[in-house]
């Protein structure tokens, strides 16, 4: 594995493809070549040190959607010795202020349209730090902020200050905050080595999606999953740049536009999450022509039912690689992934190179093949720990260094992983454990159902009972008893759903995970 910082790793082959496109907006066509991106991020880095007074290890918050400038901002921060901490641009001032305090951020980079949110967050945090604005659509620069383009296009900046930067492979370079599905968000400390290891693991020949970038060939990947999430940051952004790919960015998700750009931009590599799988299956614009350039589709962020994978293949109408990956923010993120030859859609696949997996029972005793238990992992991509949170670290790691994923899984005789559900989201019915994902997959098999979520609710005699929420396909009509009966015919009696609520949509996180805690808070 390269013994370098993430910044040096990403740019190590720049001289092979300087004139190739690094990033381009799917809608406007605005973008950068690799050479332009390198020069502009280099200028930005020098000005972060010179004008903003950033120092080694200082956290910089990026609060941006997927725009072509995002990689330039991120790489400039790394070159300046900073630590990237990403924030969902849809967050409220309260959510942003919490991360400002937890990360001890020294600078925030955002768009003009979210400056008011940032200022309110800084007031709540009782802090006054520089706000750098990326002028994305000709927006006026808000008073009291600094323009990103003025810092990145400053060709006269003295770059000698960058010689002062002292960062090592073991230093933290990325500080995402976990989604908080089981409590308040926690700062995940990822080192240069963590993310580089995961990139190298993704490029193992049996897994690698792209061909070598040359004077006559460049693979194209769509940046539809948010770069502020570790899945989008490592897999789509950092790894793609290191491999010389063209990243087509989508700033605001619009279903019609997403389907159209797959054909328009000749996308051949697509990393996605379950909601996008469902969209590609059900959207009126979906057709074999729209998907004609796709060669690799990898689902991550949450499990997708094998029946949904088969429906998507029916839409594509030709044989392509369609598999799943599994990971967490704490593991940079990828732990396991289906290889190119796999046609098993009900499993994930083998662990990444140099990664160990172990299934244990409640007493942390190792279980055998195909036995259901909690998944533990060890490997070079596992985080250093949670920032300033010794209590969480103590519960997340075993005494001998295994990371507890909190996910319920099996590993077969061939070492292939299958995820059942989140351990803490299991529904306990009469002492039996019911995985919500199993019931959700069955509900999505109903012709009227577009998406589904299942949670456990208190029951007077059974302990808990499964309660379902469904979003219907456009124009579909079905009564809730029919849905309950549809599931009851296919499961053991203790898994039967007692109640179904029809919603306009199922709440999901930016990474595609079902927000069960939101459903519980609102409907239970």
Question: pLDDT at position 254, please?
Answer: 93
User: Could you give the C-alpha distances from 430 to 303, 426, 435, in angstroms and in order?
Assistant: 26, 13, 14
Name the 3-class secondary structure at 96: helix
Q: Which residues fall within 8 angstroms of residue 196, CB to CB, at 6 or more apart?
A: 1, 2, 4, 6, 9, 169
Question: pLDDT at position 405, please?
Answer: 95
**What residue spans in the chain does CATH classification 3.30.300.30 cover?**
427-523
Q: Are 409 and 375 in contact (CB under 8 A)?
A: yes
Question: pLDDT at position 422, please?
Answer: 74
**What residue spans in the chain does CATH classification 2.30.38.10 cover?**
319-422
User: Comparing C-alpha atoms, which of 294, 305, 133 is closest to residue 224?
Assistant: 294
User: Could you give the C-alpha distances from 275 to 137, 300, 504, in angstroms and in order?
Assistant: 28, 11, 14
Q: What angle (nearest 5°) sits at the alpha carbon of residue 80, between those of residues 78 and 86?
A: 40
Within 51-185, where are the H helices?
70-79, 93-103, 115-125, 148-152
**Structural tokens at position 288:** 């074999």
**Structural tokens at position 356:** 């160990």
Q: What is d(CA 443, CA 436) in angstroms, rounded to the nearest whole number?
A: 11
**Structural tokens at position 42:** 């280099």
User: Could you give the C-alpha distances from 220 to 237, 243, 322, 387, in angstroms and in order?
Assistant: 12, 11, 17, 35
According to CATH, the superfamily of the domain at 319-422 is Luciferase; Domain 3 (2.30.38.10)
Question: pLDDT at position 430, please?
Answer: 79
User: Comparing C-alpha atoms, which of 89, 90, 83, 71 is closest to residue 31?
Assistant: 71
Q: What is d(CA 300, CA 321) in angstroms, rounded to the nearest whole number?
A: 14
Q: Looking only at Cα atoms, what is the longest distance across the chain?
A: 74
Question: pLDDT at position 272, please?
Answer: 93
Point out which residues pair with 337 in neighbouring strands: 325, 350
Question: pLDDT at position 181, please?
Answer: 46
Question: pLDDT at position 179, please?
Answer: 58
Question: pLDDT at position 182, please?
Answer: 47
pLDDT by residue for the chain (524 residues), tens only, comes to 899 999 999 999 999 999 999 999 999 999 999 999 999 999 999 999 999 999 999 999 999 999 999 999 999 999 999 999 999 898 889 889 989 999 999 999 999 999 999 999 999 999 999 999 999 887 899 999 999 999 999 999 999 999 999 999 999 999 999 855 445 689 999 999 999 999 999 999 999 999 999 989 999 999 999 999 999 999 999 999 999 999 999 999 999 999 999 999 999 999 998 889 989 999 999 999 999 999 999 998 777 888 889 999 999 999 999 999 999 999 999 999 999 999 898 899 999 999 999 999 999 999 999 999 999 999 999 999 999 999 999 999 999 999 999 999 999 999 999 998 777 788 888 767 788 888 998 999 999 999 999 999 998 878 889 999 999 999 999 999 999 999 999 888 889 998 999 999 999 988 788 999 899 999 98
**What residue spans in the chain does CATH classification 3.40.50.12780 cover?**
6-258
According to CATH, the superfamily of the domain at 427-523 is ANL, C-terminal domain (3.30.300.30)
User: Could you give the C-alpha distances from 77 to 28, 38, 86, 241, in angstroms and in order?
Assistant: 26, 12, 12, 16
User: With 0-12 CB in 10 A as exposed, 13-18 as middle and 19+ as buried, what is 524?
Assistant: exposed
Beta strands in 345-447 (DSSP E): 350-351, 356-360, 373-378, 385-386, 403-411, 417-422, 427-429, 432-434
CATH 3.40.50.12780 fits 6-258, yes or no: yes
Q: What is d(CA 313, CA 255) in angstroms, rounded to the nearest whole number?
A: 19
């Amino acid at each position: 594995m390269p013994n370098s910082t993430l910044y040096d790793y990403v740019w190590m082959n720049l001289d092979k493809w300087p004139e190739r496109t690094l990033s381009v907006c799917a809608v406007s066509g605005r973008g950068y070549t690799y050479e332009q991106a390198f020069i502009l991020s280099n200028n930005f880095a020098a000005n972060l040190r010179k004008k903003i007074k950033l120092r080694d290890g200082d956290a910089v918050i990026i609060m941006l959607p997927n725009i072509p400038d995002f990689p330039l901002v991120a790489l400039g921060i790394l070159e300046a010795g900073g630590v990237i901490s990403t924030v969902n641009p849809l967050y409220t001032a309260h959510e942003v202020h919490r991360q400002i305090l937890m990360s001890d951020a020294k600078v925030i980079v955002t768009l003009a349209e979210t400056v008011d949110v940032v200022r309110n967050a800084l007031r709540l945090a009782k802090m006054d730090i520089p706000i750098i604005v990326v002028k994305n659509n000709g927006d006026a620069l808000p008073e009291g902020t600094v323009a990103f383009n003025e810092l990145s296009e400053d060709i006269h900046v003295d770059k000698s200050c960058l010689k002062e930067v002292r960062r090592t492979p073991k230093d933290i370079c990325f500080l995402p905050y976990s989604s908080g599905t089981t409590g308040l968000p926690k700062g995940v400390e990822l080192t240069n080595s963590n993310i580089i290891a995961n990139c190298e693991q993704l490029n193992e020949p049996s897994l690698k999606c792209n061909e070598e970038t040359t004077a006559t060939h460049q693979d194209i990947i769509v940046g539809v999953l948010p770069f502020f999430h570790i899945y989008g940051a490592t897999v789509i952004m950092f790894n793609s740049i290191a491999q010389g790919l063209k990243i087509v960015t989508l700033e605001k998700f619009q279903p019609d536009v997403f389907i159209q750009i797959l054909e328009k931009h000749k996308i051949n590599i697509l990393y996605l999450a379950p909601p996008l799988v469902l969209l590609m299956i059900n959207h009126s614009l979906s057709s074999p022509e729209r998907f004609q350039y796709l060669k690799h589709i990898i689902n991550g962020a949450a499990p997708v039912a094998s029946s949904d994978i088969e429906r998507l293949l029916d839409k594509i109408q030709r044989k392509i690689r369609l598999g799943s990956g599994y990971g967490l923010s704490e593991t940079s993120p990828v732990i396991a992934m289906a290889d190119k030859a796999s046609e098993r859609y009900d499993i994930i696949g083998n662990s990444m190179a140099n990664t160990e997996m172990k299934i244990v029972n409640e007493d942390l005793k190792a279980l055998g093949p195909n036995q259901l238990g909690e998944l533990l992992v060890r490997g070079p991509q596992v985080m250093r720990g949670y920032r300033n949170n010794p209590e969480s670290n103590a519960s997340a790691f075993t005494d001998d260094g295994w990371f507890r994923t909190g996910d319920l899984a099996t590993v077969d005789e061939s070492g292939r992983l299958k995820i059942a559900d989140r351990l803490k989201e299991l529904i306990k019915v009469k002492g039996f454990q019911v995985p919500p994902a199993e019931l959700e997959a069955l509900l999505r098999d109903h012709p009227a159902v577009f998406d589904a979520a299942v949670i456990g609710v208190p029951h007077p005699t059974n302990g808990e009972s499964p309660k379902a929420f469904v979003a219907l396909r456009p124009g579909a009509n079905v009564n809730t008893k029919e849905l309950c009966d549809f599931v009851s015919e296919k499961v053991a009696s203790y898994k039967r759903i007692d109640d179904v609520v029809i919603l306009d949509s199922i709440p999901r996180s930016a990474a595609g995970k079902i927000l069960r805690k939101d459903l519980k808070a609102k409907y239970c």
